[in-house]
Amino acid sequence: AQRVTQPEKLLSVFKGAPVELKCNYSYSGSPELFWYVQYSRQRLQLLLRHISRESIKGFTADLNKGETSFHLKKPFAQEEDSAMYYCALHSGSRLTFGEGTQLTVNP
């Protein structure tokens, strides 16, 4: 069975500092991984997906199959990045979500 682990429930950084949100997964097949974000009073929305290898809002995430990780990184955090971030694994018909990390970027 697949499993997604986000070890940090809360993460607090200062504006301009680098930020890394950790995600580890357990899956026997070839994983399809996503990061979703939920800003205050907004709906859950897709941030990025590993297959696209893109940078969205300055965020990147690299799939490391050896370490079974898909950490989300941004070199210089902004206050508007404050939100709840969920890592998710897609397999078959479903998304399996981690428990989420609440990121707070302080001025």
Partner 1 sequence: DAGVTQSPTHLIKTRGQQVTLRCSPISGHKSVSWYQQVLGQGPQFIFQYYEKEERGRGNFPDRFSARQFPNYSSELNVNALLLGDSALYLCASSRQGGPSNQPQHFGDGTRLSIL
> Residues touching partner 1: how many (CB under 8 A)?
23
Stretch that binds partner 1, among 53-61, 63-71, 73-81, 95-103 (CB under 8 A): 95-103
**Rule CB under 8 A: which of 4-63 touch partner 1?**
4, 32, 34, 36, 43-46, 49, 51
CA distance 27 to 92: 12
* 3-state DSSP assignment of residue 51: helix
Q: Which two tokens stand for residue 37?
A: 């974000």
Q: Which residues bind partner 1 (CB under 8 A)?
A: 4, 32, 34, 36, 43-46, 49, 51, 86, 88, 90-100
